[in-house]
């Protein structure tokens, strides 16, 4: 039997998102990374719509959403307001990289909206390696997105540094296209928010069940960063995915989907 997943794109009050699954059922919300957009989560939406109403949102200034990123707590409040307008909550919250930072703030500042939390390839603070400076990191990202060359060699170099060594060209091309579509002003605002990120002193406040995933070959937010998150949250589960880099949901979608399915607690609607 062939099962066809229906992807529905919606836009209301300046917020755009893509969803699958049964409207009115328990919801899962997916938050993309710095150079991402809602369709980066298609491997998850296509697989997990049988158990959740899966909604992947475009952050402010990304994709078809209006506005521009503010601070991470402000972006988290923006997502929380959208979740509330969906008549959803609590939700199973999933964030990748920058989206994982937004998810941390959302879980801390709006805990009533978070049933469970999954953090992929993210960090509890900027510059955790003690070497990376805001100036050099900002230049590496903003200069790449402003590259006028349509072949996007700078962006290709950024993506090559994010993924695992065996990652296929399809994933690389998807992320080059995705990053290329981010307006420079949006990326600059998001990067400025990112370098101020630090939740280390508050992570112990998170009471929802937490799953932390990281690619074994992730050099952007390496396994030591994931360990730093998991060690600060009581009961958090840490999974290191072999062979994957920083774009875990695209590089190892089957494993990510299985882990999410196991992490999400049954609800009355799904039990």
Q: Strands across the sheet with 8-12, in order?
A: 8-12, 15-20, 53-57, 27-31, 91-96, 114-120, 210-215, 237-241
**What digits encode the pLDDT tens for the residues 67-89?**
999 999 999 999 999 999 987 77
Q: Strands 210-215 and 114-120, how do they pair?
A: parallel
User: In 10 A of CB 126, how many CB atoms?
Assistant: 18
| The predicted structure's pLDDT at residue 38 | 97
Question: Rg of the chain's alpha carbons, rounded to an integer?
Answer: 17
User: Does the pTM of the predicted model rise above 0.85?
Assistant: yes
Domains of the chain: 8-263 (3.40.50.1820)
The residue with tokens 């510059």 is 127
Q: Tell whether the model's pLDDT for residue 217 goes beyond 60.
A: yes
| The predicted structure's pLDDT at residue 50 | 93
User: What is the C-alpha separation between 219 and 44, in angstroms, rounded?
Assistant: 23
Give the pLDDT band of residue 2 (cuts 50, 70, 90). Answer: very low
Give the pLDDT band of residue 3 (cuts 50, 70, 90). Answer: very low
| The predicted structure's pLDDT at residue 138 | 84
Give me 73's structure tokens.
């707590």
**What digits encode the pLDDT tens for the residues 84-142?**
998 777 999 999 999 999 999 999 999 999 999 999 999 999 989 888 888 888 887 77
Give the pLDDT band of residue 267 (cuts 50, 70, 90). Answer: low
Mutual orientation of helices 72-85 and 184-194 as an angle, nearest 10°? Answer: 110
User: What is the C-alpha separation between 92 and 74, in angstroms, rounded?
Assistant: 20
**What digits encode the pLDDT tens for the residues 158-174?**
888 899 999 999 999 99
Q: Tell whether the model's pLDDT for residue 269 goes beyond 60.
A: no
Give the pLDDT band of residue 148 (cuts 50, 70, 90). Answer: low
Give the pLDDT band of residue 175 (cuts 50, 70, 90). Answer: very high
Omega before residue 90 within 30° of 0, cis: yes
| The predicted structure's pLDDT at residue 271 | 46
Cβ-based neighbours of 6, under 8 Å, separated by 6 or more = 20
Is the alpha carbon torsion for 72, 76, 77, 81 positive or negative?
positive
Question: Within 13 Å, how many C-alpha atoms sit on residue 16's CB side?
Answer: 15
Of residues 200, 179, 199, the one with CA closest to residue 190: 179
User: What is the C-alpha separation between 89 and 231, in angstroms, rounded?
Assistant: 27
Is the alpha carbon torsion for 259, 45, 61, 176 positive or negative?
positive
Q: Which residue has the higher pLDDT, 245 or 270?
A: 245
């Amino acid at each position: 039997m062939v099962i066809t997943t229906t992807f529905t794109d919606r836009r209301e009050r300046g917020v755009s998102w893509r969803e699958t699954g049964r409207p009115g059922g328990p919801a899962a919300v997916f938050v993309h990374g710095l150079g991402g957009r809602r369709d980066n989560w298609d491997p998850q939406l296509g697989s997990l719509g049988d158990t959740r109403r899966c909604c992947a949102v475009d952050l402010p200034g990304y994709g078809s959403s209006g506005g521009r990123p503010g601070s991470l707590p402000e972006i988290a409040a923006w997502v929380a307001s959208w979740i509330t307008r969906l008549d959803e909550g609590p939700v199973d919250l999933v964030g990748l990289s920058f989206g994982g930072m937004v998810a941390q703030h959302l879980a801390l500042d709006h805990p009533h909206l978070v049933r469970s939390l999954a953090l992929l390839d993210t960090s509890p603070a900027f510059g955790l390696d003690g070497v990376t400076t805001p100036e050099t990191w900002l230049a590496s990202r903003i200069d790449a997105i402003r590259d006028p060359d349509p072949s996007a060699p700078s962006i290709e170099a950024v993506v090559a540094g994010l993924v695992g060594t065996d990652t296929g060209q399809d994933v690389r091309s998807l992320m080059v296209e995705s990053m290329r579509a981010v307006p420079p002003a949006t990326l600059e605002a998001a990067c400025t928010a990112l370098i101020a990120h630090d939740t280390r002193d508050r992570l112990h406040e998170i009471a929802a069940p937490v799953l932390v995933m990281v690619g074994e070959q992730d050099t952007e937010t390496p396994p030591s960063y994931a360990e730093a998150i998991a060690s600060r949250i009581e009961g958090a589960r840490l999974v290191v995915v072999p062979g994957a880099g920083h774009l875990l949901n695209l590089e190892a979608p089957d494993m990510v989907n299985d882990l999410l399915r196991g992490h999400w607690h049954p609800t009355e609607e799904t039990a």
